[in-house]
C-alpha cells in the first residue's frame, strides 16, 4: 500500500545473521574481486522492519523514483562515480526521494527504486540525498552492508583491514524507543550515519578525506572516499570556506579490495 509521502523515511530492523567472511583474492590481478572467494553475509531481506511509521515521519519518503543520475569513470581499477543528489535543492529536498545505487564490476550503478520499494530491497548498497549518505543495513534497509573508518589515505588501503568492526546503520538507537538519533556535530537535523564523517560544516560543506572500508552483503569489500560535495569549487570550500557551485553532485572514489 502506498502511503502519504509528505514526511519521511527510515527503519529499524532485527539483527542480521552473519556468515564467516573470506576477504577473497584479486581476480587475475584485474582489480576486480574474485566472486568465488567470499561468503555472503546475508542473502534474504531482513523484514518486516520495526519503527517504520516513526521513521516515515523523520526523513521524506516518497513513492516515485529520483531523477538523479549516477555516472562513472575508471582508471587502473579505481572508479570515480558521481551521484546527482541535489533533490531539487536544500529547501525542496523533503519533497524529493533518495537516489539508490549499487557497487558493480562496471561501476556504481543507479538502482531505479522509489523510497517505499527500497525498504524491502537488497538490490541497493547506498542511498544519497544532499549530504546524507546511508547504507543498506541496520536501521536503514533490509540488507547488511557495513562500514568501518580506516586510518590513512585511499592508496594506503590495499586489502580489507584486519580486525575492522563493520558497523551497520544505527540511526534509531534502541528499537523499542524508535527515536531518531541525529548527527550531534551540528544542528542541521541530519540523521546519525556510518559515513557522516565524510564531511564537515562551517560556512560550507567541506570534505574530510576520511576513507571507509565497506563490506557488502555478498561478502565483497570496497574502499571508499567521498571527494566532493560540490560539482565544482570543492577545494575553495575546503581551504577557504567559500561554497562551491552545483551543490550535492557528489563525487565518490572507490575500488574493490
Per-residue pLDDT for 1 more than 50? no
Identify whether 10 is part of a domain. Answer: no
> How far does Cα 107 stand from its chain's mean position?
15
| Residue 232, domain extent | 27-256
**Which string of DSSP letters, residue by residue, matches 32-75?**
SB-TTS---S--S---S-TTHHHHHTTS---SSB----EEEEEE
124-148 average pLDDT score? 95
The pair phi, psi for residue 118, each rounded to 5°, is: -65, -25
Q: How confident is the model at residue 27 (pLDDT cuts 50, 70, 90)?
A: very low
Residues pairing with 128 in the sheet: 99, 133
In this prediction, residue 119 carries a pLDDT of 84
Identify whether 178 is part of a domain. Answer: yes
In this prediction, residue 7 carries a pLDDT of 34
Identify whether 126 is part of a domain. Answer: yes
In this prediction, residue 192 carries a pLDDT of 92
Identify whether 1 is part of a domain. Answer: no
Computed over every residue of the chain, the mean pLDDT equals 86
Identify whether 104 is part of a domain. Answer: yes
Identify whether 62 is part of a domain. Answer: yes
Identify whether 19 is part of a domain. Answer: no
CA distances from 214 to 125, 130, 169, 217 (A): 10, 21, 12, 10
In this prediction, residue 5 carries a pLDDT of 37
Per-residue pLDDT for 181 more than 60? yes
Identify whether 18 is part of a domain. Answer: no
Total domain count for the chain? 1
Q: Which of 18-27, 53-62, 176-185, 207-216 has the lowest mean pLDDT?
A: 18-27
Taking Cα atoms as reference points, which of 100, 146, 145, 107 lies closest to residue 124?
100
In this prediction, residue 31 carries a pLDDT of 44
Give the integer Cα–Cα distance in Å for 79 and 106. Answer: 9
Task: Please say whether the dihedral angle defined by the alpha carbons of residues 18, 22, 28 and 29, taken in this order, is positive or negative.
Answer: positive
Cell of 192: 546519525
Q: How confident is the model at residue 37 (pLDDT cuts 50, 70, 90)?
A: low
What percent of the chain shows pLDDT beyond 70?
82
**Which string of DSSP letters, residue by residue, matches 179-238?**
-PPB-TTSSS-PBP-TTGGGEEESSSEEE---EEEEE-TTS-EEEEEEEEEEEE-HHHHH
Amino acid at each position: 500500500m502506498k502511503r502519504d509521502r509528505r514526511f519521511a523515511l527510515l527503519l529499524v530492523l532485527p539483527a542480521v545473521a552473519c556468515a564467516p567472511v573470506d576477504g577473497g583474492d584479486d581476480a587475475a590481478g584485474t582489480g576486480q574481486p574474485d566472486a568465488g572467494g567470499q561468503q555472503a553475509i546475508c542473502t534474504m531481506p531482513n523484514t518486516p522492519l520495526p519503527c517504520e511509521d516513526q521513521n516515515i515521519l523523520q526523513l521524506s519518503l516518497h513513492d516515485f523514483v529520483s531523477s538523479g543520475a549516477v555516472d562513472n569513470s575508471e582508471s587502473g581499477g579505481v572508479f570515480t562515480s558521481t551521484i546527482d543528489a541535489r533533490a531539487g535543492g536544500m529547501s525542496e529536498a523533503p519533497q524529493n526521494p533518495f537516489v539508490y545505487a549499487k557497487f558493480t564490476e562496471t561501476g556504481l550503478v543507479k538502482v531505479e527504486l522509489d523510497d517505499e520499494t527500497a525498504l524491502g530491497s537488497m538490490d541497493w548498497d547506498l542511498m544519497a540525498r544532499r549530504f546524507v549518505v546511508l547504507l543498506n543495513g541496520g536501521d536503514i534497509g533490509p540488507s547488511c552492508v557495513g562500514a568501518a573508518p580506516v586510518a590513512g589515505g585511499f592508496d594506503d588501503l590495499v586489502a580489507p583491514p584486519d580486525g575492522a568492526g563493520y558497523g551497520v546503520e544505527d540511526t534509531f538507537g534502541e528499537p523499542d524507543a524508535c527515536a531518531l538519533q541525529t548527527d550531534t556535530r551540528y544542528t542541521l537535523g541530519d540523521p546519525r550515519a556510518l559515513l557522516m564523517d565524510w564531511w564537515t560544516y562551517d560556512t560550507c560543506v567541506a570534505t574530510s578525506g576520511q576513507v571507509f572500508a565497506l563490506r557488502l552483503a555478498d561478502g565483497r569489500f570496497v574502499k571508499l572516499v567521498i571527494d566532493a560535495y560540490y560539482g565544482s569549487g570543492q577545494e575553495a570550500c575546503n581551504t577557504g570556506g567559500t561554497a562551491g557551485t552545483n551543490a550535492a553532485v557528489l563525487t565518490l572514489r572507490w575500488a574493490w579490495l
